[in-house]
């Protein structure tokens, strides 16, 4: 197995449902976090769906409808994000789910994985198993 540079750089972020699915579906290009993206990191970022639901998330009007027919996975890497930038939310990105006062992780080039990859989630920005990274990055990439 040959590991390429962008594969070494890849990290994963565990996100609860329905948010992981909304990101994978390209419907939520801004992830709100209480902590800033490490300055040295710009992607690729693997979106890992945690094992738990965010009940409040599912209760947001329109979320269930938006995900109708979309597979909801748990405990698996469900998407790859090519590039990530970060800024402090100050009234911006409201049309893309950005919350005031949170750090906005702006996700560009999102590709949903046709075959989610089982993985155990962790806190923070974590380093997935090399096999998982290679498999995720081998998925057909979006043009975005
Ligand atoms: Zn913003």
Distance 45 CA to ligand 1 centre (A): 18
Distance 126 CA to ligand 1 centre (A): 23
| pLDDT value for 71 | 96
Reported as a single tens digit per residue, the pLDDT across 89-128 is 999 999 999 999 999 999 999 999 999 999 999 999 999 9
Residue 144's pLDDT band, with cuts at 50, 70 and 90, is: very low
The secondary structure of residue 38, as a DSSP letter, is: P
pTM of the model: 0.93
Distance 89 CA to ligand 1 centre (A): 4
**Euclidean distance between CA atoms 51 and 90, whole angstroms:** 31
**Euclidean distance between CA atoms 78 and 116, whole angstroms:** 5
CA nearest 48: which of 124, 99, 134, 144?
A: 124
| pLDDT value for 142 | 57
Mean pLDDT of 33-38: 96
Q: What is the CATH number assigned to the segment(s) 5-137? A: 2.30.130.30
């Amino acid at each position: 197995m040959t590991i390429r540079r962008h594969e070494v750089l890849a990290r994963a972020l565990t996100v609860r449902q329905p948010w992981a699915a909304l990101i994978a579906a390209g419907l939520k290009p801004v992830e709100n976090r209480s902590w800033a993206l490490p300055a040295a990191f710009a992607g690729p970022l693997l979106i890992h769906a945690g094992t738990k639901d965010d009940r409040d998330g599912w209760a947001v009007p329109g979320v269930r409808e938006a995900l109708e027919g979309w597979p909801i996975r748990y405990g698996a890497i469900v998407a790859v994000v090519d590039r990530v930038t970060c800024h402090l939310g100050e009234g911006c990105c409201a049309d893309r789910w950005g919350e005031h006062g949170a750090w906005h992780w702006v996700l560009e080039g999102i590709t949903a994985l046709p075959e989610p990859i089982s993985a155990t989630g962790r806190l923070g920005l974590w380093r997935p198993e090399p096999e998982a990274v290679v498999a995720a990055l081998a998925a057909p990439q979006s043009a975005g």
